[in-house]
A and B are shown apart, each in its own frame.
Chain A
């Protein structure tokens, strides 16, 4: 049985896979192989990668050339802002904006771990400064500001910094008359910022309203996963809402819905194709065709 992912765990800063399924018949008590990963004499780390959907194995270099799309089953691997900027911006040339805005633990929030420590750990673990990066560059010579989320930073959670960086990106777009695209990849609001994170929904929506008044296009690209506060605000407010194939997109997480209705969810529930079918997406775009399609869209808006 395929492991079900728990987005909530990502928001709690843990890795998001539940080790054991509730329906498993047998439970392994003793560990099978006791050699720790570090002691294994295997190929160098990070050289090979396995597709989580079809188990196809290929090298990371190969996968990178394929824009992190599985050649066998077209599964779109999760990638970060660095990869998206590389894929979309001409010659990978762009400015990174508003990196100086950083999260802080204003509330002194402590769950199993203090929020300040979580932030420290995330900064150490990754080379990104928060869950969103703003890049300003050109896509086939057309100027575009891309705000791209990074799932590896506390589950791409929506906190004050994401709100502020997007707000300033909007100001930047207003000033330079540049279209804006937000690439969503997030489990939802950052609970450690409590009501402040909730208010970012209103904050960003207000800023988007200024883009509307200035007749500047805003595109929302939803990737796997886009949940909670993201879909309840700017994720669904694009002049165009588009998505990558097979991305999980929704308001409530599948686990919560399953617990509420006490039934299994239908296959393909909350996938991009499901959303397209129900009328919430303009189209689904393959990563390989994204740049071309984006260019087409930007040209159409321009003329």
Chain B
């Protein structure tokens, strides 16, 4: 029996080991450093192939891990995001003279943490995944040891992350006290799962996840951390933990309240969503630093995704999954452009500095502009598909007001997204040209993201179908 179970987590095991190998290689064979990115990418792609070539058996390991369609969807999501972040990272690291094996190792471990969270059916396993992800990210955030901003980002993320982990554990402990189990499927059948203590516990769990998602009012860390972290890390940080946390939240919510959310949950989650959409978009308007703007836009986007979760049901969860997939490509394209447009981490990434760059660097700028239109939800990009599905689910779940707030909030967002495009193409080049570089890897990343945003926007059926399959776990 044990052998069968090990088979189900081969990708995770392989990636953890590969991470260790990379760290050791850095120490014993530093000549290989230029190849680290290739080795890592190959490993990630292998893991992806293995995940898809083996069956998804459902609950394994005594039910604590659910290797189901949802898990598989999230694994794909994490690994694709990880590959894209790697593509961006290598030229960046070699330019900033920080191309160390630890970077790749930590990235892989963080990815495994997110994959574990996505499949966890037991709160302690969620916690283990969460910690693996977070600890790796604490280090990655502070990867530029000489940079005050990077260290500040690392510290902030550490303090907030430790705090949210404690809150999560406290919630889990309360839930255990109330129901006598931490296994999500068992919680569903526990008679006291709807009692007051359980509700308090659920609120704590949701708060801890809201920290990870940077939802209002748990968002304050995001702008500083986004700004200070090395840009490829920010790209990773802005998508992978969020997808994982949303899926955990979906699973917790689904098991605590099978099929339908109770009004209590709906109100709390809707408040988080509305607050995030409104605050994120309004604050983003005032930003002059591109990375901070993207941080606030990220807060708003998690608000939109949460709308799908509030609507719940198969439609809502499908919307959430499509949304996070869309968000990955849009956000990574944007951060890829940021990483190409910044010479040194010490300098702020001012939107002003983009002036006239559109004509100088056509590929990266086009990707950045398209990602701005996609984030704004303009068709035929995938951003529109995501927003459309999420708001449609909200209308369908009789929460028209929530959809209207979302639509109005996204209208506000158009202003600051389009402003980036306006700087890129419609402002003249400044006299003192910033010395930007444009490595081929970032160009390749841009092309991949552009194609993904457009193709998934015009032909969304495959993505929607996959998300629907993944959302079927609710029907059990």
The answer to whether A and B belong to the same complex is no
Q: Which residues of B contact A (CB under 8 A)?
A: none
